[in-house]
Amino acid sequence: MTQPSVLILCTGNSCRSHLAEGILRHAAGDLFDVHSAGSKPAGYVHPKAIEVMKEIGIDISGHTSKHMNEFLDKKIDTVITVCGNADQACPMFPGQVNRYHWGFDDPAQAQGTEEEILNVFRRVRDQIKLVFEAYAAGYREKK
């Protein structure tokens, strides 16, 4: 039996969706086949997203920014949007069973000093971590 696939969507697929992908894969990689994509991919993973994930021992430096259309011909069981724009742009995927929207602030829009910007990335990372670890724990309990 194959693992259920989870696709995490955001607009740019440069920050929030990669934070969520890395955290969910770390928390439940044995339960899910986890991917992320964007409705308008930025073409890169934000360096500060990589940096703040490294702080908690999760390496997302190998992630790439992908368009959600790359997944239209794949079996996706669950789609989770992490920003409002992606929620509105999200198509129905063939065979999709579940769809959730958990919105988070966009850390790429943070302004201020280097440390203030990093703190926004850390705050969003920690919020995503709480939600996605709880999701993984709930799924694990149901199994």
pLDDT, position 104? 94
DSSP for the chain reads -PPPEEEEEESSSSSHHHHHHHHHHHHHTTT-EEEEEESS--SS--HHHHHHHHHTT---TT----BGGGGTTS--SEEEE-SHHHHHHPPPPTT--EEEE-----GGG--SSHHHHHHHHHHHHHHHHHHHHHHHHHHHHH-
Active site residues: 10, 83, 90
What residues does each domain of the chain span?
5-142
pLDDT digits (tens, 9 = 90+) for 19-57: 999 999 999 988 999 999 998 899 999 999 999 999 999
- pLDDT of 125 > 70? The answer is yes
Total-model pTM: 0.92
When the pLDDT of each residue in the chain is averaged and rounded to a whole number, the result is 90
pLDDT, position 130? 98
- For domain 5-142, the CATH superfamily is Response regulator (3.40.50.2300)
